[in-house]
Structure 1
């Protein structure tokens, strides 16, 4: 028998634990054959105790490689000139990438055949193998991270009297049939790699930052943290109808909730970027990656049509009663602004979807009198202003400042309190 190494043949003098890397490489590429008891020059030297070595190989296949690779390998004991050697025939696997269970789905655990050697696969190559094997749906693809915990998810399920067993994890799509965590599992795990970036700006443009935050962790942590932060900045205005006082938020809380849920449930998670929330004095913008699902127009979505991009994630949120029904988010947001002079806006472009919730009390900032904006913006950082504050904001003298303040009082934008040197102005 004449043997020599090639792209599909590997020769080994003895068995070592590194053999499993070679097996993985062949299974992840085009298959191949490994001979044990053969020198690099093709000379058969044989092995001692071949039955024990074959058992070691079988145990290694079962315990050290995932997914199960045994069905793609045949182990044969051969003999030539009274020398025993082993032949391993490895077929190309159908559940690529195969990897070392102790290393996981990363370059140190995934190997491919390159010429006559086995080399670590790049992360891009790993993702491509996963996509080719698992299909296009991001949720169902195997997660590159496998050391996942689900503390926050367990808390949320327990609040609702729902179990979190292995069977339940498989039903939810968190765990595959062969006990490998999916990307759905990654999203709801404490190790979720995606985030929400929150920025608060002074005024109606991005010229001046007031604050910025980033929310990480499980999607449930991100949802809660983002909602609480918006709620903190969501001002309340008191209005009176006869003797009845009504407190009204700048942004309807139900609209905020629906916009956040839509951004989290329907974004494209195969993109690594963050979801963005931008808060200005007159509007709240939520920008999620992915745009609408292909084939679904914005007009159709506004009519209530829905095609969830992340069906497993949407089903979990529905089961947890975070969303009531598919396709109702936009209509709920619109209903929150029914009869108001300002209306939410929705925009879908290639790769992104944006929801703009207007501040329902921002008409004072958009009254058509741009000359008042420098003064109105003073109230973003203080409850009352003085004439000298006005002069500084306008860069003008005393007479002009007094005239502007008088105009604003006549228009009902501000109210004068106190007299003489104690004169102050407050927002109406």
Structure 2
């Protein structure tokens, strides 16, 4: 009996721990046969302790390779002229990619057969195997990152007195049936690879940049950090009716919350890019990747129709009472602006969805008139202002302040009340 190495045959003189790489490679490709006790030349030299080696191989299959590959392997003890050697048959697996449990779902742990050698698979090849095996649902696919922690998610469950066990993790789609983290698990983990980028611009375009932040970590951390940052910049304007003062935010808080939740729950996470939040003097924009699910029009979404792209993620947010019901987000945002002269805008294009929340207190200033913004913002805290207030906020002299106030009166941005030392100015 003469044996030769090929794409489907591997010869091993003795057993070593590297044998598991060959097993993984065959299971991930077209299957194959491994002979132990046979030299590279094809000469059968046998094994002194064949029974023990068979047990080592069996243990390696059980303990060192994931998912479970035992049902796709068969170990035989062969004999030729009183020489014992082992034949290990590996069939192509149905749960590819198989990987070394100590290395995980990455090139150092996933091998494929290439000619007569076993080589590490590329990340693209690993993704393709996952997609072919698990289907097109991103959140249900196995995560390429398996070294995950769920500290923040655990905290969120504790706040709500919810049970957080391995059974719950499987029910929520965080873990697969064979204890492998899914992409859903990656999203809610502390190692989430997606982020939210927040930019603040002076004025109504991107010509003058003021600040930038990026929120990372579990999407629950990102949600909290993004909302707090928007809230920090969400100005408050005081309105007075006789002696009664009413505070009103530039952006209705419920509208901000719904827009942010929708961007996180419904974006397409198969894109690696970030969710963008852009804050201008007159509007807040939230841009999420993916657009509406194929077949769902913007008109249908405006009517309340809903088809979550990430059903497991939406179900988790619903369970945690972050969202109340599917398909209500846009209507809630619209209701926050009911009766106001400015209205939110929704735009769906291929690959992206944009929500624009207008600043209900913004004045439509030209680029030339934006120098008056610091003065106009004084009215967020005061019903009336004086010339001295303008001098202080801008750090200018009396003559300059008088001229600026006169310009604003001429442009009908403010009104004058009283005369002489009792002169006051109110916002229009």
- C-alpha distance in 2 between matches for 1:153 and 1:372: 48
CA RMSD of aligned residues (A): 2.5
Q: What pairs up with 1:8-27 in 2 under 5 angstroms?
A: 8-27=8-27
Q: How far 1:424 moved relative to its partner? A: 9.4
- C-alpha distance in 1 between matches for 2:334 and 2:377: 30
Q: How far 1:299 moved relative to its partner? A: 0.2
1:62–1:242 distance in 2 versus 1, CA, 3 Å: same
Match of 1:385 among 390, 413, 425: 390
- C-alpha distance in 2 between matches for 1:417 and 1:166: 71
Q: Deviations over 1:286-305 (max 9, x none)?
A: 00000000000000000000
Q: How far 1:402 moved relative to its partner? A: 6.6
Q: How far 1:371 moved relative to its partner? A: 7.2
Counterpart of 1:232 in structure 2 is 232
Q: SS of the residue aligned with 1:385?
A: helix
Q: Deviations over 1:312-352 (max 9, x none)?
A: 00000001110000000000000000000000000010110
- C-alpha distance in 1 between matches for 2:50 and 2:200: 70
Q: What pairs up with 1:310-325 in 2 under 5 angstroms?
A: 310-325=310-325
Q: SS of the residue aligned with 1:139?
A: coil
Residue 332 (structure 2) pairs with residue 332 (structure 1): yes
Counterpart of 2:341 in structure 1 is 341
Residue 375 (structure 2) pairs with residue 376 (structure 1): no
Residue 414 (structure 2) pairs with residue 413 (structure 1): yes
> Is the CA contact (8 Å cut-off) linking 1:417 and 1:426 kept in structure 2?
no
> Is the CA contact (8 Å cut-off) linking 1:390 and 1:401 kept in structure 2?
no
Q: Normalising to structure 2: TM-score of the pair?
A: 0.92
- C-alpha distance in 2 between matches for 1:181 and 1:418: 72
- C-alpha distance in 1 between matches for 2:184 and 2:238: 43
Q: SS of the residue aligned with 1:318?
A: helix
Q: What pairs up with 1:153-302 in 2 under 5 angstroms?
A: 153-302=153-302
Structure 1 residue runs without a partner (length 5+): none
- C-alpha distance in 1 between matches for 2:335 and 2:353: 20
- C-alpha distance in 2 between matches for 1:415 and 1:46: 104
Runs of 4+ that moved beyond 6 A: 380-383, 387-392, 397-400, 416-420, 422-426
- C-alpha distance in 1 between matches for 2:404 and 2:162: 63
- C-alpha distance in 2 between matches for 1:166 and 1:155: 15
User: How many residues in Structure 1 have an aligned counterpart in Structure 2?
Assistant: 417
Q: SS of the residue aligned with 1:26?
A: helix
Q: How far 1:207 moved relative to its partner? A: 1.2
- C-alpha distance in 2 between matches for 1:381 and 1:339: 23
Counterpart of 2:148 in structure 1 is 148
Counterpart of 1:365 in structure 2 is 364
Q: How far 1:414 moved relative to its partner? A: 6.1
Q: How far 1:142 moved relative to its partner? A: 0.4
1:415–1:228 distance in 2 versus 1, CA, 3 Å: farther
1:91–1:64 distance in 2 versus 1, CA, 3 Å: same
Counterpart of 1:56 in structure 2 is 56
> Is the CA contact (8 Å cut-off) linking 2:237 and 2:247 kept in structure 1?
yes
> Is the CA contact (8 Å cut-off) linking 1:387 and 1:401 kept in structure 2?
no
1:391–1:232 distance in 2 versus 1, CA, 3 Å: closer
- C-alpha distance in 2 between matches for 1:311 and 1:158: 23
- C-alpha distance in 2 between matches for 1:209 and 1:166: 46
Q: Deviations over 1:16-38 (max 9, x none)?
A: 00000000000000101111111
1:31–1:352 distance in 2 versus 1, CA, 3 Å: same
- C-alpha distance in 2 between matches for 1:97 and 1:380: 61
Q: SS of the residue aligned with 2:167?
A: helix
- C-alpha distance in 2 between matches for 1:106 and 1:424: 69
Q: How far 1:242 moved relative to its partner? A: 3.6
Structure 2 residue runs without a partner (length 5+): 380-388
- C-alpha distance in 2 between matches for 1:381 and 1:242: 21
1:229–1:398 distance in 2 versus 1, CA, 3 Å: closer
